[in-house]
Amino acid sequence: MAQLTPPQGIFYSNTVPAPGGALNTNISNKNFLSPLNFSFTIKRAPHIEFFIQKINLPGLKLDSPIFPTPFVRVPEVGDHLEYEPLKITFKVDEHLQNYLEIHKWLKGLGKPKRFEEYRNLAQQPQFIGYGLKSDISLIVMSNIKNPNYKTDFIDAFPISLSALQFDTTNPDINYMTAEASFKYVYYDISSIS
């Protein structure tokens, strides 16, 4: 009877774990990422920063075209990344200042009454140089509140703004929150420390 041998290039070992495996104890930082430690800025809507409650770091995916064969459909590596929308939740201030920043931005982009709304959005003196889009930054802090990583969303613009629900039947005061979603070209994550 012939003896079976493993294919060349494959090594089996009962005593030595693979480098970087589950038994590797050379981890330099064993702290977990906290969902509380972040800061956020939108150049075109500066009044939201103080009131931000939630923000997601959007996922991304690479489309995978399928190459058909008579037997099995073979996936191939794609060539276009698709980014999920950036979503934020913020408390609305008493004067609606932060809510109206996004509302006016969306209204200018959508020009519901006249074309001048679009032109006026681009020509607002405080936003000259930004165009109709704005960069957005998310800074993730370490557990001791030092800036750790920065995510820059390039050429972002709002695509939705939630409704505000006024309600006199609630016995407790729950201050208003709003949600906004943004599209962007791409984002980059870079280390600060």
Range 139-142, long-range pairs (CB < 8 A, 24+ positions)? 139/38, 139/39, 139/40, 139/192, 140/33, 140/37, 140/38, 141/34, 141/37, 141/38, 141/39, 142/31, 142/37, 142/193
Q: Where are the domains positioned within the chain?
A: 38-58+80-191
Question: Which of the residues in the chain have pLDDT under 70?
Answer: 1-25, 112, 118, 122-131
- pLDDT for 79 equals 86
- pLDDT for 30 equals 80
- pLDDT for 34 equals 85
CATH code of the region 38-58+80-191: 2.30.110
- pLDDT for 116 equals 74
- pLDDT for 12 equals 47
Query: Per residue in 88-99, pLDDT tens?
Result: 999 999 999 999
- pLDDT for 20 equals 56
pTM for this one?
Answer: 0.76
Query: Per residue in 132-141, pLDDT tens?
Result: 888 999 999 9
Degrees (nearest 5) of the Cα angle 114, 116, 120?
A: 140
